[in-house]
Amino acid sequence: MNSKKVNNRIIAHLDLDAFFAAVEERDHPWLQGKPLVVGADPNGGCGRGVVSTASYAARAYGIRSAMPISKAWQLSEAARRAGKEPATFLLGNHHRYAEVSGAVMEIVRHRVSNIGATEQSGIDEIYCDLSFTESFENAEVFVRKIKNEIREREFLTISAGIGPNKLIAKIASERQKPDGLTLVRPEQVQDFLDPLPARVIPGIGPKTDGALAKNGVKTIRDLRAFSREKLIERFGKWGSDLYKKARGEDDSPVEESDEIKSVGEQETFETDTLELAFVCERLNALCSDVFRRFLRDGFKTFRTIALTVRFADFQTQSRAHSLKTPARTESVLRFEALKSLLPFFDKRENPQSKKLRLIGVRVEKLSKTFDGRSKF
């Protein structure tokens, strides 16, 4: 990609608002406007999973995505005691969410793909290269048409950010949720970024945010005061990326990839356990779910099987095994996953006999073609 094209790009990032909860509200009118939490079973405050999505009404209680479901339950109970409506908790229907996501993304691609590139970055997010519109004003008009079409056809709202690159577009899409549109022209980038918390930069998680705070960094302006060398010294290669992102620099192109790198499922147990029969039964169920998704997504073979185990103390270990030839049956998946699991029940992988909190299974190196070499 030449520098002229990079320097003149117009990129949009579209992000569906509280997507899982919004689909539930749309499909079930009695849920509309209610504090709604989609995720694990709260089990009366003793649930073991996390929140997938919280509606905006639930967010008013302090409930957020990735929060432990037990904490979400506590916040809901606090709201109830204060005379407010308690949250409704749903396990969710991920097949339905994937179906609705596909319909929304098709609307976006239909408008963009013949003249510009798109890149779906999650079930509810997509980037669009709108450089063909030739001006930020034209791009704004174009995006508003997409937003209106999604609202009219799918009855969902989507927030948008428009900027000179993917980084700025993504940060901008978060600024006016729900149903917002934030436009940042190239000359506005630094003024836009400087007052924002450093944690809005994609890739800065709680650990990095805490390390930055210890160095007096609260805002992107604070981060920009550090030299590239200082950031590399503190954060390694990631420090160089931080230096560029604090200045709004991002040359990554918008590129759609049809490749799904893996298909996986995981389960958090209600109670930590070392009961072999129970864990094996749950492993088989996970393998069935993974294989069903593997087939649904049009794949014919897999080459690698990966197992994840999380202990009661939250230590997490993963083991992956690649086959000499591709496999295409559920029985192979179950057999290889079980082989990886069994060492966690003895001294090979679990010398302290720690109980298990979570297991997960995943297939990788997927192919949508079958050349007959597979023996399984």
pLDDT at 109 over 50: yes
Report yes or no: 326 and 367 within 8 Å, Cβ to Cβ.
Answer: yes
Report yes or no: 345 and 353 within 8 Å, Cβ to Cβ.
Answer: no
pLDDT at 353 over 70: yes
Alpha-helix runs per DSSP H in 202-329: 206-214, 220-224, 228-235, 237-245, 276-296
CATH architecture of 1-34+87-193: 2-Layer Sandwich (3.30)
- The rounded distance, in Å, linking the Cα atoms of 121 and 177 is 18
pLDDT-based confidence at residue 115 (cuts at 50, 70, 90)? confident
Q: What is the pLDDT of residue 262?
A: 80
Helix (H, G, I), strand (E, B) or coil at 370: coil
pLDDT-based confidence at residue 205 (cuts at 50, 70, 90)? confident
| Mean predicted confidence (pLDDT) in 283-310 | 89
Catalytic residue among 25, 125, 154, 267: 125
CATH number of this structure's domain 195-250 = 1.10.150.20
The 10s digit of each residue's pLDDT in 223-265 is 999 999 998 988 888 889 999 999 999 999 998 765 567 888 8
| Mean predicted confidence (pLDDT) in 149-162 | 96
Instruction: Label each residue of 79-119 as H, E or C.
Output: HHHCCCCCCEEECCCHHHHHHHHHHHHHHHHHHHCCCCCEE
The 10s digit of each residue's pLDDT in 264-277 is 888 888 889 999 99
Report yes or no: 306 and 359 within 8 Å, Cβ to Cβ.
Answer: no
Query: Kind and range of the H or E element at 25?
Result: helix 19-27
Sketch the domain layout of the chain as residue ranges.
1-34+87-193, 195-250, 262-364
Positive or negative, the Cα torsion across 209, 215, 221, 227? negative
Q: What's the one-letter identity of residue 148?
A: N
Q: What is the pLDDT of residue 204?
A: 86
Give the orientation angle of helix 94-112 with respect to helix 19-27, to 10 degrees. 100
- The rounded distance, in Å, linking the Cα atoms of 239 and 52 is 30
pLDDT at 314 over 90: no
- Token representation of residue 9: 């790009």
* DSSP percent split of the chain into helix, strand, coil, nearest 5: 45, 25, 35
pLDDT-based confidence at residue 7 (cuts at 50, 70, 90)? low
- Is 125 catalytic? The answer is yes
CATH number of this structure's domain 262-364 = 3.30.1490.100
Q: Which residues contact 348 (CB under 8 A, 6 or more apart)?
A: none
Beta strands in the chain (DSSP E): 11-16, 36-39, 51-54, 88-90, 118-122, 125-129, 158-163, 181-183, 262-273, 302-311, 316-327, 356-364
pLDDT-based confidence at residue 373 (cuts at 50, 70, 90)? low
| Mean predicted confidence (pLDDT) in 44-66 | 91
Query: Kind and range of the H or E element at 253?
Result: none
Q: What is the pLDDT of residue 260?
A: 61
Report yes or no: 181 and 162 within 8 Å, Cβ to Cβ.
Answer: yes
pLDDT at 125 over 60: yes
The pTM (predicted TM-score) of the whole model is 0.72
Q: What is the pLDDT of residue 1?
A: 40
